[in-house]
Each structure stands twice: as C-alpha cells, then as structure tokens.
Amino acid sequence: MKKTISLICICLICNDILSQNFDGGLLAGLTTSQISGDNLGGFNKLGIAIGIFTQRNISEKSKLKFELSYFQKGSKNNNLNLNLNSFKLDYIDAPFYFSYLVQQNTSIQFGFHTGFLLLQKETDNFGSNIELRDSFNAIDFSTSIGIEYYVNNQISLNTKFSNTLFFTPIRKHASSASLWYNQGQYNTVISFTINYYLINPQ
C-alpha cells in the first residue's frame, strides 16, 4: 500500500511539472551493477534502463530534472569455482537531479533516487532459482553523480554512478553484523543511457 501511494504521488508531481512547463523526453540504455556485501566483486550484472524524464530551468545554467524508469540492478557470479549466488533486482526508479551546465555541451548532475522493488530473484551457479535467505527491502534510497553530453539539440549521452545510502541498506548482512558505515548490502550501479529530447534541452 505504501509503495502504491508513493508511486501515485510521484506520478502526480510529474504530471504537475509537465502541465506547467514541459521539457523532456525518453531515455534508454544499459546498467552494470553489483551488490556490496554479497562477497562478489565487480560490475558483472548487466541490465537495462528505459523510461521518461522531464526538467525545468531554474537559472541560465542549472536545471531540476525528474526521471521515471524501469531499472535493473543486482549482482552476478562469473566464477563457477565460487559457490556464490547471483541476484536479479528490478526497480521502478524515480530520481530527482540537480543539473549544472559546466560547458556548452556538458552538464554534471547530482541526484537522489527512490527505487521501488518490483522483482527479486536469487540463482545458484547453474542458473536455478533458489529461495531467498531474506527479502530485500521494498524501497532503495540512493544518491548519484553523473555527466550528460549533448550530441545535438535532441540527443544526449548520460553516464551515472549511484549507490545506496549507507544508513538504508537494501538488506542486512547474513551475519547481522552492522557498523555505522556498513549496515548491510547496498546497490552500486553504473548506467549508460541515451536521452531523446522532445524539446531542445538548451
């Protein structure tokens, strides 16, 4: 119920922004991710990101940007010699960004994400589904930093690095161990997307 209410509120906010001053478009791309604290190293889990975005100018060089996308995260064990499991986590991601134009065709972005978990799956080395030790949290709060390069008036390339906030892990450690800076498992993601603007972004 809380997840549904939150999604409705986000959609209403997005609709309000669009009705006032539309500037946005579509996005699609790839994600590469890992879950820190799962004993697997490396961004081995590939996924997709697809969604919409809108933004508003707040000054000549700065903007506020909102996205709503289907976003795949998780981790993958590429070493069959290790008896470790892989995880597939699918989210509806709803980030807000502050974007600042540092050069004519380049902007940097700082964002806060709220991810709503749609699907969680754990598999063994042979790809067979197994029962989750503990369920992952329904919401993933994270921050990000990114860079956007405007190829032309309608297309831009965006790269972002995001990580779950250290005090809101997506799941506790199996041992239940907890330190102030390491309270459980965290999503860490690098994403690469192409943005298609329906209106000139500049």
Give the pLDDT confidence of 68-87 residue by residue, as tens digits. 999 999 998 777 666 567 88
End-to-end CA distance of the chain: 39
Is residue 202 included in any domain, yes or no? no
Is residue 84 included in any domain, yes or no? yes
State which residues form the domain around 97: 2-197
The predicted model gives 136-159 an average pLDDT of 96
Dist CA 139 CA 135 (whole Å): 12
Confidence of residue 113 (pLDDT cuts 50, 70, 90): very high
Is residue 147 included in any domain, yes or no? yes
Q: Which residue has the higher pLDDT, 77 or 187?
A: 187
Is residue 158 included in any domain, yes or no? yes
Query: What is the pTM for the complete model shown?
Result: 0.83
Mean pLDDT (the chain, rounded): 84
The region of weakest confidence among 8-22, 138-152, 181-195 is 8-22
CATH code: domain of residue 185:
2.40.160.20
The amino acid occupying position 116 is F
Q: Which two tokens stand for residue 191?
A: 């994403």
Confidence of residue 117 (pLDDT cuts 50, 70, 90): very high
Q: Which residues, in sequence order, are CB contacts of 16 under 8 Å at separation 6+?
A: none
The predicted model gives 85-98 an average pLDDT of 93
Confidence of residue 43 (pLDDT cuts 50, 70, 90): confident
The amino acid occupying position 113 is H
Burial class (CB in 10 A: 0-12, 13-18, 19+), 1: exposed
pLDDT for 101 beyond 90: yes
C-beta separation of 87 from 74 below 8 A: yes
How many domains does the chain fold into? 1
Instruction: Name which of 125, 124, 94 is nearest 112 in CA terms.
Output: 94
The predicted model gives 21-42 an average pLDDT of 83
